[in-house]
Structures are given as structure tokens and as C-alpha cells.
Amino acid sequence: MDRVFLDANVLYAAAFRQGSPLRRLWQLSDVELWTSEYAAAQALGNLSQDRPDRVAEFHRLISVMRVTAQDTSAVVLPGGVSLAVKDRPVLLGAIQSQAHYLVTGDKTHFGPYFGQVVGGVRILRPAQYLASFR
């Protein structure tokens, strides 16, 4: 079973629009969806501001996921990895959760690592991960 850690932007996009292709992630069998309180709070904050009418849907999506309360202070970024301060807890949360995949749409910060395994976690765009289920 795949353990897939979702970044805030994936959570936000899935809740933002009912017909989002990202909803497919919630329909996959043999997949556990994970995120962190940090990523969930980011997504919820942005969604509350942009689309308050979709907050209930966000909570519905989150309710079937594993949401970790993490302390990443003891986890160090793997050597050679450079991320913005706001993105470090996302990768560290995926590593600490022992996720197989980190799925993120953030190509600005995670783009250099797409397709790579960092700290035991393969970083992919949503389309890359979903393509493996065609």
C-alpha cells in the first residue's frame, strides 16, 4: 500500500473545485493519504480566504486522511537539499511519516526534486503520481 503525503497546494486545489482531477487521489485503492497539521492549516487558511464556501468540503476530504501532529525539530533536511523555510516542514513531515511519496504542485520550490527520492520519499507532481494508475 502506498503512503502518499499531500502538500497544502494539493489539498487546497482538491477542495477548491468539485470537479478537480485531484479528487481521484481519494478514490484510489491501496493508497493511504497523509498530510501534516502544518500543511492542512496552510490549505485551510488559504481556502477560508479564497473560497469560504468550500471549507466544509475541505474538512470532508481531510476526515478520511491521516493527519500527523509532527515535531520536525529533530529531523534534518538531507544533504544537498535546499528548500524555502515554509516548505521544509512539508518535506520533513513526509520523511517523518515514512511516506513513499510526497505529492505537490509546487514546482517553484520542489521542482528540482521532482522524480527524485529525498530522505526515502519520492517527490512527484500530482499528474506524475496519478499516471501510475492508468
Domain 2-131 classification at class level: alpha beta
pLDDT in tens, 44-60: 999 999 999 999 999 99
Is the four-CA dihedral 133, 33, 123, 106 of positive or negative sign? positive
- pLDDT band of residue 73 (cuts 50, 70, 90) is low
Q: How many CA atoms lie within 13 A of 52 on its CB side?
A: 1
The ranges assigned to domains in the chain are: 2-131
pLDDT the model gives residue 15 = 98
Beta strand pairing call for 66-68 and 101-103: unpaired
Q: What is the mean pLDDT of the chain?
A: 94
pLDDT in tens, 83-132: 988 899 999 999 999 999 999 999 999 999 999 999 999 999 999 999 98
pTM of the predicted model, to two decimals?
Answer: 0.94
Non-local (6+) Cβ contacts of 127 within 8 A are none
pLDDT the model gives residue 80 = 86
Beta bridge partners of 2: 31
